[in-house]
Every structure is written in structure tokens, then in C-alpha cells.
Chains A and B, each alone.
Chain A
Amino acid sequence: MEQMITAVMSLAAIGSGLGVVLGVAARRFAVEGDSRVEEIVAMLPAANCGQCGFPGCEGAAQAIVEGEASPTCCPPGGKVVALAIAGHLGITLGDDDMEEAPKIAVIEDAICIGCTKCYRLCPSDAIVGAMKQLHGVFAEACTGCNQCAEKCPTGAITMQELPATAGTWVMPKPPMAA
């Protein structure tokens, strides 16, 4: 009888002791969310455009980390961001995943009424313009997030592929041997 009590008591003591340690550790070293999410957010263009179908860049990062979305889901980021994220998370991207060429906003001069709606909306200040003045897009600063095109009352903004120039041209990959 005595032996049994000793065993139960000692096991209970060990258990409660470890329980306290674990409880304290859980409080002390708690991780708020997945740290990878923050790292991925830092890689995304921060346009919060919603083209990926998730609520903002943070939502997309969450989905990518959880494996619900592909790193290629971000059109403004394009191939560069997709490759960076894939490299960071150790995911292999298929060759054909990123076929679509990057697009940027182009304003049709004849239709623009100078309402400044797009100018106020652009997350990267890529549009210049003033009330009743023709607006213009800085091609260098545009990520092609499409938010301006959605809000343009006259449909003057379209997303277009950048024309290839001698400066941006890349020699195509030669066909593989049969």
C-alpha cells in the first residue's frame, strides 16, 4: 500500500512539475502567427490589390505559407517575386507556371476626363494628374495591380503588355534536343 502511494505521489509530482514548466514555456516562448508569413509579406509588392483573391498581401502570404496558393498567384510581383518566394519556402516552380508577361496600366488620352480617381487610388503613386487634366502613368513605378482600371469611370485605363525593346529583350531558350 505504502509503495503504491509513493509511486502515485512521485508520478503526480513529476507530472505536475513538468506541466508547470510546459505551461510557463508556452506563455514565455509563444509564437504569434507563422514567422514565415511576415517574411513573405516583405517580399510581396505591398500593393494590396486583391488580384490573388486573398484579402491583401498578408492574406496571400498566409495562403502561400499554408500551401493553399501558389507563389505565382501575385500578378504585380510576377516571375521575380514568385521565384524569390519559391526559393525561400523550398517549393519547386514548374517551367510554365509563369507564362504571362507583366502588364502595366495605360491611359487612353482621348477618353480620360481628369477625374483623379485613379490618381488617388494608385498604391505606388505611379499616376500623375490633377482635376480636369490629362493623367499619365509612370511605367517604371506601375505594378499592374489593376485597381485604377476597375475604378476608371470612362474605361480609359487598360492593362497592356510592355512592348519589348532592344534593352529589355532576352535571347529565347534554344529548343531541347530530341
Chain B
Amino acid sequence: MAHVVIPPIRRLLTRWGIHPDSHKFPAAGLDIVDAGLPPLLVLPLSQQAGAPARAVVKVGDHVLRGQLVAEAVGHVSAHVHASTSGTVLAIGDAPMPHPSGLPGQGITLRPDGLDRWAPREVEPYPINLAPEEIARRVAAAGVVGMGGAAFPAAVKLALGQRSGIHTVILNGSECEPYLSCDDRLMQECAGDIIEGARLLLRATGAQHLLVGIEDNKPDAIDAMKVAAHPYPEISVVRIPSRYPMGAERQLIHTLLGVEPPAGGRAADVGVVVHNVGTAAAVWRALRHGEALTERVITVAGGAVAAPRNMRVRVGTPLSWLVERAGGLTREPARLVVGGPMMGVAVPDLDVPVGKGASGVLALTAAEVGEREPSACIRCGSCVVACPVGLMPLEMANRINAGELGQAEDIGLRDCLTCGACGYVCPSRIPLVQYFAHARGELMARERERKRLDEVRELTEARAARHEREAREKAEMHARRKAERAAAQAAEAAAKAAATQEESA
């Protein structure tokens, strides 16, 4: 596996995807700087995929950097740690990076400026740890997928142990425009990434590791190749630049030529995909005992004075980051946390960044390029662009007509909501918003249906209870009546016997 090259035939046959302007410079050309400590941090309790974490500190508590402040709840969840030392000011509703703009649960922390770490468990040779121990420590450090979806990394590792993984893929494609945090991380911390990748290999029991990097990041490819050189099981692969190359299925197909079944997982074809940032975080967690308290974020966009990649504490508000990037040169038309294609548009700069945030973008009106949608001209551009091979126009039509079930029948569940269809649409139809709406609506209906079923059960249980109580009452009455009757009869019999005796 030392030299993996993508077969030219597969390159030629690849039709999906789009080639948006990359906008990666100037941030991609500058080294990562530390964003420093903001005056206030807000640690979101729901910054991972799955269930929100439960706070384990109280208001007024003094916490150290890396100290557990909220624990994972349920199987798919992740711990949250204090990202610096300081005092817990509040636990409760705080502004959150959510498309609704609604607040969510968070822990507000006032840094004391000392940035003291909690005791760390240093491990000189973590590669010697047992796979289960690696997964346990990754979970304890609260590491989640750093590519954007923020899926708890330990859950993925445990999944790998169970399902016979032969290949781990490190995702260094970074296909979204503007973002260059993975690019810079690969250039500056290639060693950490490769060491972390070896731990991921050991934890999953896989034999091969492929690092897929888009060909628009030649410096990152070089740095990673040098770092991976001593390890024959690791190969760094140049992959063509196109969006959404970083999507799990598209990356697997490009690198290995196999495709996980619809509705299935990557593990079904013996593969697990991790982001390069996750590998670096895994290394820091195991080697240095550091919980995930910071990450690299690209602060960019036309309205930002000096775009830059920054090492940012989890929970830093957007306003602080924008200020560190030289402030805003003009009023942004849209603020986005994450990439411009799949990120979350947020209402203001008060929201904090979570572990999964790869970018903070302040985009100008020209960059957003929003226009009034016109009617579909049935050109089929969206069908060509769709990386999953769906028919976005047909799905949108059905959703428009309220036939969500029919949209589901033609593949709504397989949609990545990557936005490639909406990007190429000459009529500027907001296709991906239709799909996001339909999926949210279907999920809400499913939730409500489950709730009503439970309420039905309660109602029936209550009816049964009342019936039983009424029956028991009636039975008791009948028994009492019978007892009374028996007593009366006995009395009467006794009386009769007495009179008989008397008369006799």
C-alpha cells in the first residue's frame, strides 16, 4: 500500500461535484496563531453529535483547564472540559451556533488568566496501550470528529473494534472553500497527526491507513509524506480537488473504489474515516493527557480584515475571533460557523465556537450571491452535480407539494445536504434548504408519533387501572354483601334454633 495512486479511469468516470472558487488564501499561506483567552467563554453542552452532556459543576466553582465540567449522557455523546482555568459564572441558556438562532444549554466560564491545567496523565509510549484503553482515554478526553459533524471519536473507535475494519482513512481533503485549518495543521503538526493516526490504527485493529489530501494543498501533501515515511502501513494519497470530496462516502469511493450501501455505514465496507484534526487531538489526548480544549479554526471571509488560522479555545465567542483577525472591514451579509457550503448561519457574533467548528466566516453580499429564485428550467445541472446520484429537482418538487414521503422514496435520506445542487442551479432555487426542511419535518413527525404512542399507552393503562379498581370495588361489595347475608342467615338460624329449644 506504500504507493496508492487513484486509477485514471476512476478519475475520468467521476462526474459528481462542483468546483467552487477556493478562497483559501491569504489564510492558507500564514501560520497558525494563538487566539488567546477571551474575557468570557461559553462551553456548549451540545457541541457533539448525539445527546447533550450533563453539567457536573456548580455555579461559583473554580475549575482548571482540562477539568471535566459536563459528562456524556448515553451511548453517543462526549464529555466537555473546561478550556481554561477560571470560575463558572452560569449554567443555562446561552447563545449557540444553531441555524434557528435559539439559545441552548451552556456553561459560562470567566477565565482567571492563569490557564492552569488539571493534573494530566502523561504516557510516553501510548502506542503500547491496549485498543480498549486507547478508546477509553479518547472518550475521557472528550474528543469528537473535528471535520464538522462532531461525532464522538471514541464511539467510532468502538464501532471499528466490533466490525472488522481493514482500512482507516484520514480525511485531509478540506473541500469547503475558505477553510484551511486542516491544511495548516497538516503543514505544521504533521508529526502529531501521523502519530495519532497510528493510534487510530491500533485502536481499530486495521492494517492500512490512507491519508487523502486534495491536490490543491501540495505543501500539506509534502509535509505529511515526510512524516509518514517511516511507516509502511501509512500512505498519503493525492486526490482531485472537488466539492464534496470530504464527504465520507465520496472519499471512500475515490480512494478505494467501493461504496457503502445506502443507509449503511462506512464500517459495512470495512472502512472508518477520521479527520486529520481528530488524529492530532487523539495524539495530544493520549501522549500528553490533554483533554480537547482547543482547536484550529479558519477566520475568513470578505468582511474580515486579516483572515488567519487560529488556535482557539473551545467556547470562544465569534466576536473575539473576528477582533483577533483585525475586525470587520464592512457589515457582513452573513455570518457562518463552519464552511460556507455546510456551515451554520448564525444571527450575531455572540455565539461561541464548539469542538466541531472548522471556520468562522463573515461573508459579504457579493460572496453570498443570493438572488431571488426563479422557476426550474429542468436543465438537470443539479442531477449531474449531486455526489449521491439523486434527482434534487424532483425531490424539491415533491417537498414543495407537501409529499415528503414521496421525496423519501426517491432518496431524501441519502442526501448529504452538501449544497452542490443549489450552488450550480441557474435558477438559484434553494434546493438544499428544501431538503433540510423536509428532513427536519420528517424527524419532528417521527418524534411526535412516538410521543403520541407513549401517551396512548398511558391512556390505556389508566383506563385498565380504572376498570380494575371498579371491578375490585364491585367484588368487595359483593363479598361484603354475601358475608352480611351469611351472618344474617346464621343469626336467623341461631334464633330459630333457640326458639325451637324454647318451645321444646
Residues in A whose Cβ lies below 8 Å from that of B440? 169-171
A80–B433 alpha-carbon span in the complex (Å): 22
**Highest count of chain A CB atoms <10 Å: which of B376, B429, B451:** B451
A124 touches B103 (CB 8 A): no
- Give residues of chain A (33-74) contacting chain B, Cβ–Cβ below 8 Å: 45-47
- Give residues of chain B (442-473) contacting chain A, Cβ–Cβ below 8 Å: 443-445, 447-449, 451-452, 454-456, 458-463
* B427 sits at the interface (CB 8 A): yes
* B399 sits at the interface (CB 8 A): yes
Q: Give the shortest distance, in Å, between A140 (CB) and chain B (any CB).
A: 6
Residues in A whose Cβ lies below 8 Å from that of B461? 125
Partner of B98, one of A84, A124, A142, A169: A169
* A148 sits at the interface (CB 8 A): no
B373 touches A177 (CB 8 A): yes
* A75 sits at the interface (CB 8 A): no
Task: Decide if the interface of chain B is mainly helix, strand, loop or mixed.
Answer: helix
Looking at A4-12, A16-24, A160-168, the stretch in contact with chain B turns out to be A160-168
Residues in A whose Cβ lies below 8 Å from that of B164? none
* B402 sits at the interface (CB 8 A): yes
Residues in B whose Cβ lies below 8 Å from that of A175? 373
B429 touches A168 (CB 8 A): no
Q: Give the shortest distance, in Å, between A104 (CB) and chain B (any CB).
A: 11
B462 touches A125 (CB 8 A): yes
A168–B434 alpha-carbon span in the complex (Å): 17
Partner of B436, one of A81, A87, A171: A171
B96 touches A81 (CB 8 A): no
Q: Give the shortest distance, in Å, between B343 (CB) and chain A (any CB).
A: 14
Partner of B444, one of A77, A93, A170: A170
Contacts A80-B452, A141-B454 given; does A166 touch B427 at CB 8 Å: no
* A143 sits at the interface (CB 8 A): yes
Contacts A124-B458, A171-B436 given; does A81 touch B452 at CB 8 Å: yes
A177 touches B427 (CB 8 A): yes
Residues in B whose Cβ lies below 8 Å from that of A126? 455, 458
Residues in A whose Cβ lies below 8 Å from that of B99? 169, 171
Task: Decide if the interface of chain A is mainly helix, strand, loop or mixed.
Answer: loop
Nearest opposing residue in chain A for B373, CB measure: A177
Nearest opposing residue in chain A for B422, CB measure: A174
Nearest opposing residue in chain A for B436, CB measure: A171
Nearest opposing residue in chain B for A138, CB measure: B458
Partner of B434, one of A124, A141, A174, A178: A174
Nearest opposing residue in chain A for B428, CB measure: A177
A78 touches B448 (CB 8 A): yes
A87–B406 alpha-carbon span in the complex (Å): 12
Partner of B375, one of A46, A79, A93, A177: A177
* B477 sits at the interface (CB 8 A): no
* B131 sits at the interface (CB 8 A): no
B444 touches A46 (CB 8 A): no
* A83 sits at the interface (CB 8 A): yes
* B400 sits at the interface (CB 8 A): yes
* B100 sits at the interface (CB 8 A): yes
Residues in A whose Cβ lies below 8 Å from that of B46? 166
Known: A125-B458, A141-B455, A166-B96. 7 other contacts (CB 8 A): A46-B459, A79-B445, A80-B445, A80-B452, A83-B445, A84-B449, A124-B462
Q: Which residues of A are at the interface with B, using a C-beta cutoff of 8 A?
A: 45-47, 77-81, 83-84, 87, 93, 95, 102, 123-126, 140-143, 164-166, 168-178
Q: What are the 8 closest A-B residue pairs judged by CB atoms, nearest first?
A: A170-B440, A169-B100, A124-B458, A174-B430, A177-B373, A174-B433, A166-B98, A80-B448
